[in-house]
Structure 1
Amino acid sequence: MKEVLNDDYQLTEEIGRGRFGVVYRCYSTVSGDSFACKSIDKRLLSDNTDRECLEKEPKILHILGGNPNIVQIHRIYEDDDYLHMIIDLCDSPDLFERISNRAGVFSETEAASVFSPLISSISYCHRLGIAHRDIKPDNVLFDSRGNLKLADFGSAEWFAMNERGTMSGIVGTPYYVAPEVLSGREYNEKVDVWSAGVILYIMLAGVPPFYGDSPEETFEAVLRANLRFPTRIFRSVSPEAKDLLRKMLCKDVSRRLSADQVLSKS
């Protein structure tokens, strides 16, 4: 299978690395167009959960195909040891890097230019019955033209498959995970709205809304969900932006906005 891959695509330098694989820059030997190749070593998958994530991501990316703000999958090559996915090349700094490199904060206009396509991509996922469940700046990528691409659907779930439209299981990342996930209860797709709200808060404030000195303390702060807007940080943030954050970072899920509702306001 590696030979077939090499017939179709020329792999060049490594541009990323994760727990189970490596992302390479590559180009089509036919068209010359540039892509990324996500190569996953299946021998490193130690449990059923990891294997399920591996099987799930390509299927979900196929379902989500065609959205300009979601990483597109173009080809799959698989053998006994590896899965190779040819996906959009996103070689500009991701949102985590952009936030880290700024020292200061985003203006509301700058934040909106990131937030609007992000919430649009989340809304699209939800309309198709898919929750991402790990929305964080590291998974918000940009291509060479600056177009936002939501990536890494390994933790995603088809909530529409469940009659009640609910999910379970503790997935996600400290700072960004919703309180109902941490509490061990069943939850719905609005966990993604919470995570997007955390990202918006960080872009406007330069600090996360809920944090501690350790993952445990951060989780406790998330569970308390005591949302504050310190005056010295939020002095120049509009009342409308703060109101949107309150409605996204609302512990009461029934009162939290849906992605579609956020989209209509942003």
Structure 2
Amino acid sequence: MSIHISDSRNMKFNEEPFEKFYEIAEELGNGQFAIVRRVVNRITRQEYAAKFIKKRRYATSRRGVLRINIEREITILKYIADSDNNNDNECLNEYEASIFIKQLLLALKFLHHLHIVHLDIKPENVMLVNKGDLKIKLIDFGLSRRILPGTIIKDMVGTPEFVAPEVVNYEPLTTATDMWALGVVTYILLSGGSPFLGENREETFINISAVNYNFNEKYFSKISPQAKDFIKNLFVKDIRKRATVNECLLHPWIRHVDNYNLKNTLLVNQRSAIPFDQIRSYKIRLKWQRAIEIIIVCNKMTANARLLLQSKNNNNQRTSRFDPIGETCLHISASNGYYDLLYYLYMKGASLTICDYQGDTPLYYSIRNGHINIVDFIISQNIDINYVNKNKETALHIATRYAQLEIVLLLLQRGANIELQDQDGETVLHISSWHGYTTILSAFCKYKPNPNIINKVCFLLSLIILMRIPV
């Protein structure tokens, strides 16, 4: 098991055209902010995986790399062909599963020693180095954080099925958060099922918070008591009592992995084989789960959707008999981050500029809840980025008020006006100054705003800035 951690302060960027050095081949995967493609070095013919970060102009990133002038960022990674956490065998026995888990533990031991928490441990982020081999790599550190002792960091981060109770309850994240996720991966690897998965996200979170799971006899009848005990030690709500990485490495189910002579190791039922069709079914379910969620939401919104589509023929003048503030299903989709549903409704003719009774468009709803992918999509459809609601607030006012830094930077990049005043005469500079949002205010100042604008209470903006920002 090998992990390469690079110091971002020593990273060097090649600003020459990427295509000069690499041939770009097929897409390997994509996410909210990046696309991964297979590429081939034109000189050595060596294959790599290239991660194309979608165009942004952030002053800084979470990893500390300066990005002031970066239009497109491409990261070159090792390419692992046909990688997956299974092999050519028809099944995986419990001993082989313990080999996988021990490698993950060694990876986490290395990370946790550096106070790095991965925060996205799941089967999709564990890959075989070579097909038919049991050597694995832990990948995708996009959500990882360095959390020093005594530092309190709270965040709703990770994949719902794998998050720990402290994530659900918005409590401080620690290295123990990774250990819970490791327990989920172990459970899945041994059974093919997911321990806390509910009918929807809310039910899943309830199961996690209540530590509501069981060892289904259908799948665990041939699994050793030691393996079950290993999982039990990880599914502990109190992070102080949850097994640490060092404790797990000393557990009997893991300790025996050092000895490859099965006769002299922990007694493992040789028929405790894990059918790979179960693992594959799990992955297929993951792919379809999002589609099912969309269908459920669509069914719940059918009546409201009919009113929305009808309003299209009435110049969007509509009233809702269901919602006292006039929300449409587009507003609800944007608020909850249902990108696929919002896009579907848009393609069916729904207007992205439709307003609720306060004049708020779906863009405002997506900004309040921090759904930057939806924000990016909406403003790319040639809408008026400086539109004002009934309180004369722009999208930039909303993003600033809710401290959505990434969205603020995106809106600035797309030409948002920083000197427009709301009904109280306040610009986004007033808002960021009053709340002490130093980073956001610094971003505004790069656009050379007028610091002498006065709001309706005659409070000089420059005075606020002097009060809030040290010289």
Task: Name the TM tier (shorter chain).
Answer: 0.7 to 0.9
CA contact (8 A) 2:188 2:194 kept: yes
Corresponding residue for 1:229?
215
- 1:36-47 paired onto structure 2 within 5 Å: 36-43=49-56
Distance 2:91 2:169 in 1: 31
Q: What's the secondary structure of 1:217's corresponding residue?
A: helix
Instruction: Give the TM-score taking structure 2 as reference length.
Output: 0.46
1:12 aligns with 2:25: yes
- What are structure 1's unaligned runs of at least 5 residues? 60-76
User: Which aligned runs of 4 or more in structure 1 are off by greater than 4 angstroms?
Assistant: none
The equivalent residue for 1:168 is: 154
The residue aligned with 1:107 is 93
- Distance in 1 (CA, whole Å) between partners of 2:117 and 2:158 is 12
Give the Å deviation of 1:166. 4.2
CA contact (8 A) 2:83 2:130 kept: no
Is the 2:27–2:37 contact (alpha carbons within 8 Å) kept by the matching residues of 1? Answer: yes
Does 1:216 find its partner at 2:202? yes
Q: In the alignment, is residue 148 of structure 1 matched against residue 136 of structure 2?
A: yes
Match of residue 71 from structure 1: none
After TM superposition, the structure 1 = structure 2 runs for residues 1-266 of structure 1, keeping only pairs within 5 Å, are: 3-43=16-56, 52-53=61-62, 55=63, 80-95=70-85, 98=86, 106-144=92-130, 146=133, 147-160=135-148, 163-265=149-251, 266=254
Structure 1 residue 205: Cα displacement: 1.6
Q: Whose radius of gyration is greater, 1 or 2?
A: 2
- The aligned amino acid for 1:217 is E
Structure 1 position 32, deviation (Å)? 2.8
The count of corresponding residues between Structure 1 and Structure 2 is 236
Within 2, Cα distance between the matches of 1:109 and 1:219?
31
Q: Deviations over 1:117-145 (max 9, x none)?
A: 12211111111110011111111123345
Q: Which runs of 5+ in 2 are unaligned?
A: 1-13, 255-471
Query: Matches of 1:177 and 1:117 in 2, distance apart?
Result: 21
1:237 Cα shift? Answer: 0.8
Shift of 1:80: 2.8
How many Å apart are 1:172 and its aligned residue?
A: 0.8
Relative to total residues, which structure has the larger strand share, 1 or 2? 1
Higher RCO, Cα 8 Å, sep 6+? 1
Separation in structure 1 between the aligned mates of residue 72 and residue 16 of structure 2, nearest angstrom: 12
8 Å contact kept, 1:165–1:188: no
In structure 1, C-alpha distance between the alignment counterparts of 2:68 and 2:52, rounded to whole Å: 10
For the 8 Å contact 1:170–1:182, the answer to whether it is kept is yes
Q: For residue 63 of structure 1, what is the aligned residue in structure 2?
A: none
Quick one: which amino acid aligns to residue 35 of structure 1?
Y
Q: Deviations over 1:197-250 (max 9, x none)?
A: 101001112211112100111011000003322333211111111111111111
Matched with 1:73 is none
CA drift at 1:159 = 0.6
Alpha-carbon distance between aligned partners in 2 of 1:245 and 1:105, rounded to the nearest angstrom: 21
The answer to which of 256-265 and 172-181 deviates more is 256-265
Indicate how the Cα distance of structure 1 residues 249 and 112 shifts in structure 2: closer, same or farther if over 3 A, else same: same
Q: Distance in 2 between matches of 1:25 and 1:176?
A: 28
Distance 1:90 1:233 in 2: 31
Deviation at 1:31?
Answer: 2.9
Q: Which amino acid aligns with 1:32?
A: R
Alignment-mate amino acid for residue 54 of structure 2: D
The one-letter code of the counterpart of 1:188 is T
Q: Deviations over 1:171-214 (max 9, x none)?
A: 01111000011111113111101001101001112211112100
The whole-number CA distance in structure 1 between the counterparts of 2:92 and 2:202 is: 28
For the 8 Å contact 2:50–2:75, the answer to whether it is kept is yes
CA contact (8 A) 1:166 1:189 kept: no
Q: CA contact under 8 A between 1:24 and 1:36: conserved in structure 2?
A: yes
For residue 110 of structure 1, report the CA deviation from its aligned partner.
2.6
Q: Secondary structure at the match of 1:199?
A: helix
Are the structure 2 counterparts of residues 154 and 214 from structure 1 closer, same or farther at C-alpha, using a change threshold of 3 Å?
Answer: same
Structure 1 distance, partners of 2:203, 2:123, is: 21
1:47-88, CA deviations, whole angstroms, 9 ceiling, x for partnerless residues?
A: 99xx745x46xx7xxxxxxxxxxxxxxxxx996321100011
